[in-house]
Amino acid sequence: MPARLQVPKMYKLFIGGKFVRTESERYTSVKDIISGNKVCNISKASRKDIRNAVVASRAGFNVWSAKTGYERGLILYRLAEMLEGRKEQFALEISVTSGKTKKQSLKEVMKSVDRLVWYSGLADKHGQLTGSVNDVQNGYFNFSISEPTGVVGILLPESMPLLALITRICAVISSGNSSIIIPSETSPLAALTFSEICATSDVPAGVINILTGSKKELIPHLASHMDVNAFDFAENNTEFKKLVQNLCANNVKRFIYSALNDQQNYFNDEINENLQQVQSFTELKTVWHTMGL
């Protein structure tokens, strides 16, 4: 009897809440870092896919930013529930593609769950913590309120394929922004499986978009897009840093350098779970109003 031919899974791009084939029809393989065997196939996104993701992300931002912080917190908590329910699968995928032990991989997954829970609690509180009532002349009432920046591009590091993803997504979307993510190029499987959780959760379409492929090819198109409002640079490799900064300057796009030199820093709650992480992706709007007699 002939040996059974294995059928590897083909992962598509996650754009606008849907799994779509790349416009270029290109793909590449993800291999087991130890054995060298093929694990799955993944799509290689193109410039056109970036443009489609920005359109979807803008639509997602309009819906997401209109929700209350309380609603966003509930949805983030739901993501944590679903991630914990598939913790064994995530731990296995991280281990296979990064070479970490099962124990190390599971530790990364559980910290990712905890981080989602923390930001779900902050979602309806950061407005009160960052806003203020300002002391102005008599007859006027003046206050400042926090508003999301808009569409944010996120470039993730090669290490910590899940924890880095969750940490940066939480910092961006908890205040109402939408995101376009370029995940780890060598270990993208955890990010793609997380997109399956997003697709079946309460996250509105377009809030989280994940595009796999060559960072060298995708970064210039995302960083230079005129409808992207900010760029979160979490990549440890600074090869692209100057390029991204120059491209962001074209439309005065906010550039946030969030890379951590030591990958173990992602487990540090003091560094990653604080108000400043959210403030980096918000704007303060000040409103004047005359007082009634």
Token pair 């993944």 is at which residue? Answer: 42
Per the domain annotation, does 1 fall within a domain?
no
Q: Is the pLDDT of residue 200 over 70?
A: yes
Q: Is the pLDDT of residue 145 over 90?
A: no
Give the DSSP H/E element, type plus range, for residue 244. helix 241-248
Residue 162 contacts residue 109 (beta carbons within 8 Å): yes
241: tokens are 């840093």
How many distinct structural domains can be found in the chain? Answer: 1
Instruction: Please report the DSSP string for 188-234 in residue order.
Output: -HHHHHHHHHHHTSSPPTTSEEE--S-HHHHHHHHHH-TT--EEEE-
Mean of all residue pLDDT scores within the chain = 92
Instruction: Specify the CATH number for the domain of residue 235.
Output: 3.40.605.10
Distance of CA 275 to the CA centre of its chain: 17
What pLDDT is attached to residue 292? 62
Instruction: Please report the DSSP string for 71-114 in residue order.
Output: HHHHHHHHHHHHHHHTHHHHHHHHHHHH---HHHHHHHHHHHHH
Q: Which residues contact 43 (CB under 8 A, 6 or more apart)?
A: 10, 11, 12, 13, 21, 22, 26, 27, 212, 213
Per the domain annotation, does 52 fall within a domain?
yes
Per the domain annotation, does 2 fall within a domain?
no
Per the domain annotation, does 35 fall within a domain?
yes
Give the DSSP H/E element, type plus range, for residue 131. none
Q: Residue 46 sits in which domain range?
A: 10-290
Please give the Cα distance from 135 to 138 (Å, whole number): 9
**Per-residue pLDDT tens digits for 165-194:** 999 999 999 999 999 999 999 899 999 999
Per the domain annotation, does 5 fall within a domain?
no
Residue 205 contacts residue 52 (beta carbons within 8 Å): no
Per the domain annotation, does 143 fall within a domain?
yes
What pLDDT is attached to residue 1? 60
Per the domain annotation, does 232 fall within a domain?
yes
**Per-residue pLDDT tens digits for 89-98:** 999 999 998 8
Q: Is the pLDDT of residue 195 over 70?
A: yes
What pLDDT is attached to residue 206? 96
Per the domain annotation, does 211 fall within a domain?
yes
Q: Which residues contact 102 (CB under 8 A, 6 or more apart)?
A: 91, 92, 95
What pLDDT is attached to residue 293? 54
